[in-house]
């Protein structure tokens, strides 16, 4: 184990998989010479050359479309979109082709491709560059969706995504790139999809979160512990497949649940998760399932107003206290 940043863990995963499998290729805007907008592809061009690491035109639809064709042709492309906000320009390729080709060909072809996308708010990048669009991809059958919160999971999940024969949307929160944690050095270290991680065990309330919200949920749990409240914190790690069994078992144990998401509340994935808990745990719940989500507004540029639009540890604490009060 060695300590490294979330960014470096992703970089290590790419290097290990490219060394292991010559069919793994990387392309996207500024991933080669500039080494990526967030420096995740640092050193790839110098080690693997321009045949496997390519800068592309500024065309997200083209980046994903070419990756679809390359995956059908036997490569394992890892396509980087500069930000998840620009994925909207590639939604035809993502929804109509990437997600469906294996099904429409009756399983006669594989689509082993990964699309990496940084996203999330909190960087004062305003409405068009601060969105959390994970529920868009979860809504589309045929796509796997991973969203790691910690460096070790960033490495292990990305390696699993690259080795998967199905298309994977791999999301990365921009505010996590500099976060640090212990990461296994084993090049065969993989984190399986569909297995949530119980980050903290507790008895009074279950907090379900993912990505940066897991970090905030753990902070909230620490604060609540000072008041004698025992929180169980679950990090989903992958959104599709979703590990319903783990979060349902936890909610049955504690009798209360709070679901935390950064995306907009309306039609957000938190509503789906809350319903799964409610449906499976109706007889054991001691209070309604609470939701903490981003506000249903375009993200403002102002730093102080932006903070009000994104869940914070104190908003999670407030939701937990409401659940404890049965409200």
Query: Which residues are catalytic, by number?
Result: 60, 129
Beta strands 238-240 and 144-146, pairing class: antiparallel
**β-strand partners of 173:** 119
Distance in angstroms (rounded) separating the CA atoms of residues 55 and 35: 9
Q: How big, in percent rounded to 5, are the helix, strand and coil portions of the chain? A: 40, 20, 40
Contacts of 91 (CB under 8 A, 6+ apart): 136
215-225 burial, b if ≥16 CB within 10 A, otherwise e? bbbbbbbebbe
Distance in angstroms (rounded) separating the CA atoms of residues 159 and 188: 9
Distances, alpha carbon 150 to alpha carbons 106, 146, 167, 207, in Å:
37, 12, 22, 17
């Amino acid at each position: 184990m060695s300590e490294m940043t979330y960014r470096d863990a992703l970089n290590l995963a790419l290097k290990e998989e490219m060394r292991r499998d010559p069919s793994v290729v990387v392309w996207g805007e500024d991933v080669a010479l500039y080494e990526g907008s967030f420096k995740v592809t640092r050193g790839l061009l110098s080690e693997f050359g321009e045949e496997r690491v390519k800068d592309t035109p500024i065309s997200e639809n083209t980046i994903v479309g070419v990756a679809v064709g390359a995956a059908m042709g036997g490569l394992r492309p890892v396509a980087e979109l500069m930000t998840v906000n620009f994925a909207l320009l590639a939604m035809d390729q993502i929804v109509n082709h990437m997600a469906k080709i294996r099904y429409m060909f009756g399983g006669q072809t594989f689509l082993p491709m990964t699309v990496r996308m940084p996203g999330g708010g909190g960087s004062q990048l305003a409405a068009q560059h601060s969105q959390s669009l994970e529920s868009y991809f979860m809504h589309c059958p045929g796509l796997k969706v991973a969203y790691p919160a910690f460096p070790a999971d960033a490495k292990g999940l990305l390696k699993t995504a690259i080795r998967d024969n199905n298309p994977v949307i791999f999301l990365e929160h921009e505010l996590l790139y500099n976060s640090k944690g212990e990461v296994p050095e084993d090049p065969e270290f993989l984190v399986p999809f569909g297995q949530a991680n119980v980050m903290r065990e507790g008895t009074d309330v279950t907090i379900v979160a993912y990505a940066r919200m897991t970090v905030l949920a753990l902070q909230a749990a620490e604060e609540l512990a000072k008041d004698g409240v025992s929180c169980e914190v679950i990090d989903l790690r992958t959104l599709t497949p979703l590990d319903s069994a783990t979060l349902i078992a936890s909610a049955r144990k504690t009798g209360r649940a709070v679901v935390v998401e950064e995306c907009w509340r309306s039609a957000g994935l938190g509503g789906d998760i809350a319903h799964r808990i409610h449906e499976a745990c109706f007889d054991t719940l001691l209070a309604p399932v609470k939701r903490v989500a981003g506000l249903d507004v375009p993200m403002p540029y102002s730093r102080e107003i932006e903070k009000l639009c994104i869940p914070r540890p104190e908003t999670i604490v407030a939701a937990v206290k409401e659940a404890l009060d049965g409200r």
